[in-house]
């Protein structure tokens, strides 16, 4: 089934632990994004990648890192989790072409840091 | 600095009513304005989008109205149904950047 998959679906993590959220898309989209969604704050961009091998910082990058070794995968790593990183994380992708760049979102990962 | 301001934060309407969600932007270089719909437990999905060369776009029961001079755009849902209950996000992009700047969202509840 074409689209974006994220893993895990949910996770409870102890503060200070390292965690990698996985994201895979099979649409051959060149751009990928990571957002966090918090009540009352909407969707905030953490990191993005316009093409394999490149990444950039979004609005709230601190405490997170990403890599883009190939077109399909865009993992998000929390090196040392803190409670303020409790959130729902969404991965998205788009084909950068033309004026309308519809972003397709994954189902999300609900992360709780205790 | 929030570049896209969305209101209201929540909205309750009765079935058949016409909820209106408003967004205002600051960056005059924005040239693409999508609306996303998100159901509980799901990721957002594109609902409808508009570019500033038109003042209105309709897709089914959903209409975007766009006012370039006021830097505002709004989503209208005609004949709203309980199935329209969701969180709606406006967004904007442009000036050579494909990144979307999202509003904070509006939780819509349509009661039977």
d(CA B33, nearest CA chain A) in Å: 9
pLDDT in tens, B74-97: 999 999 999 999 999 999 998 677
User: Is the pLDDT assigned to residue B109 strictly greater than 80?
Assistant: yes
* pLDDT computed for residue B47 by the predictor: 95
User: Is the pLDDT assigned to residue A100 strictly greater than 70?
Assistant: no
* pLDDT computed for residue B95 by the predictor: 67
Look over chain B and give the mean of its residue pLDDT values, rounded to a whole number: 94
CA B61/CA B108 separation, integer angstroms: 15
Residue A83, helix vs strand vs coil? helix
CA A19/CA A81 separation, integer angstroms: 7
**Which residues partner with B33 through β-bridges?**
B50
> What share of chain A in percent tops pLDDT 70?
95
Among the partner-chain residues A58, A99, A107, the one whose CB lies closest to the CB of B42 is A107
């Amino acid at each position: 089934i074409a689209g974006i998959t994220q893993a895990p679906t949910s996770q409870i993590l102890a503060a200070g632990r390292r965690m990698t959220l996985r994201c895979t898309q099979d649409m051959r989209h060149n751009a990928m994004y990571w957002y966090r969604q918090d009540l009352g704050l909407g969707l905030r961009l953490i990191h993005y990648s316009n093409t394999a091998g490149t990444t950039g910082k979004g609005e709230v990058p601190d405490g997170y890192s990403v890599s883009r070794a190939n077109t399909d995968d865009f993992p998000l790593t929390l090196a040392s989790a803190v409670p303020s990183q409790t959130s729902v994380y969404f991965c998205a992708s788009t084909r950068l072409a033309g004026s309308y760049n519809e972003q397709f979102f994954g189902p999300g990962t609900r992360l709780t840091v205790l | 600095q929030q570049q896209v301001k969305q209101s209201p934060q929540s909205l309750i309407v009765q079935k058949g009513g016409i909820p209106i969600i408003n967004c205002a932007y600051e960056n005059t270089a924005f040239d693409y304005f999508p609306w996303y719909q998100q159901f509980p437990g799901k990721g957002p999905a594109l609902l409808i989008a508009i570019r500033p060369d038109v003042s209105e776009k309709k897709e089914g029961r959903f209409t975007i109205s766009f006012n370039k001079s006021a830097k505002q755009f709004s989503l209208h849902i005609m004949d709203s149904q309980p199935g329209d209950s969701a969180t709606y996000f406006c967004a904007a992009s442009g000036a050579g950047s494909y990144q979307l700047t999202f509003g904070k969202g509006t939780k819509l509840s349509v009661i039977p």
